[in-house]
Amino acid sequence: MKYNIRGQRMEVTDALRDYVEKKLSRLERYFEAPPQSDVNVTLSVTKGQQAIEVTIPLPGALLRAEEKREDMYASIDFVVDKLERQIRKHKTKINRNFREAGSARALFKEDFGNGTSVTTLAREEEDDLELVRTKRFDLKPMDVEEAILQMNLVGHNFYVFANTSTKEVSVVYRRNDGKYGLIESAE
């Protein structure tokens, strides 16, 4: 894997760069052949929090994780753990959906080299995929500002609504920086 490591509001030292590359290279054991795509890593410091964001584009998938901790090295360790869980979940999903040879299954190894196989991890990961609640509600037509007010009123981090300006279903959400985002369909 090729790493693009950059710092926002901080300098990336050689020691930090080596640590990131060493930790992320652990992910290569999950692949039959190391991905040829670039791994984008952004290190930043915001309000005393040391953050790392990693994006790995793969054929048919995009692995992305971010972590914020008091210590940058701890952030790196935790983000690698998140990425490992994502890879295992993705592998489990591929095994469920594609049973024929030559599909996306060939991207990941069946055995991870530490005595752990996909089947044992699949059983562990199935618990994480359990749907525990379903809600139904009528979408009230409103504008984005009203949707943000409604979201804050109910105390959630997101709110689904019928957007009056686009006549589509949209989602407003609260970002980690305290500002708001809007998700609209691409059609």
Q: Determine, yes or no, domain membership for 164.
A: yes
On whether both 115 and 150 belong to a single domain, the answer is: no
**115 vs 48: CA distance, rounded Å:** 39
Tell whether 16 and 82 lie within a shared domain: yes
Q: Are residues 106 and 152 part of one domain?
A: no
Residue 74 belongs to what domain range?
Answer: 2-129
60 lies in the same domain as 148: no
Q: Is residue 135 part of a domain?
A: no
pLDDT value for 69: 92
Distance between CA atoms of residues 184 and 19, nearest Å? 38
We report the CATH number of the domain holding residue 77 as: 3.30.160.100
Low-confidence residues in the chain, pLDDT < 50: 100-101
Same domain, 122 and 179: no
Statement to judge: residues 120 and 63 lie in one domain: yes
Neighbours of 125 (CB within 10 A): 17
- Could you tell me how far CA 169 lies from the centroid of its own chain? 23
Q: What is the CATH number of the domain that holds 166?
A: 3.30.505.50
**What pLDDT is recorded for position 135?**
81
pLDDT (0 to 100) of residue 98: 57
Give the residue from 98, 129, 160 where a domain finishes: 129
20 CB neighbour count, 10 Å cutoff: 23
pLDDT one-digit tens code per residue, 150-164: 888 777 889 999 999
- Give dist(CA 60, CA 93) in Å, integer: 12
pLDDT for 122-149, tens place per residue? 555 555 667 778 888 788 899 999 999 8
Tell me, yes or no, whether 136 lies in a domain. no
- Domain assignment present for residue 178? The answer is yes
Domain total in the chain? 2
Return contacts of 19-28, CB within 8 angstroms, 24+ apart: 19/73, 19/76, 20/52, 20/76, 23/76, 23/77, 23/80, 24/54, 24/80, 24/83, 25/1, 26/80, 26/84, 27/1, 27/56, 27/80, 27/83, 27/84, 27/87, 28/1
The residue from 83, 103, 129 where one domain ends is 129
Half-sphere exposure of 108 (CA within 13 A, CB side): 25
> Does 82 fall in a domain?
yes
Is 98 among the domain residues?
yes
Query: What does the block give as tokens for 157?
Result: 């981090």
> Same domain for 116 and 175?
no
User: Is residue 91 one of the residues assigned to a domain?
Assistant: yes
| pLDDT value at residue 116 | 56
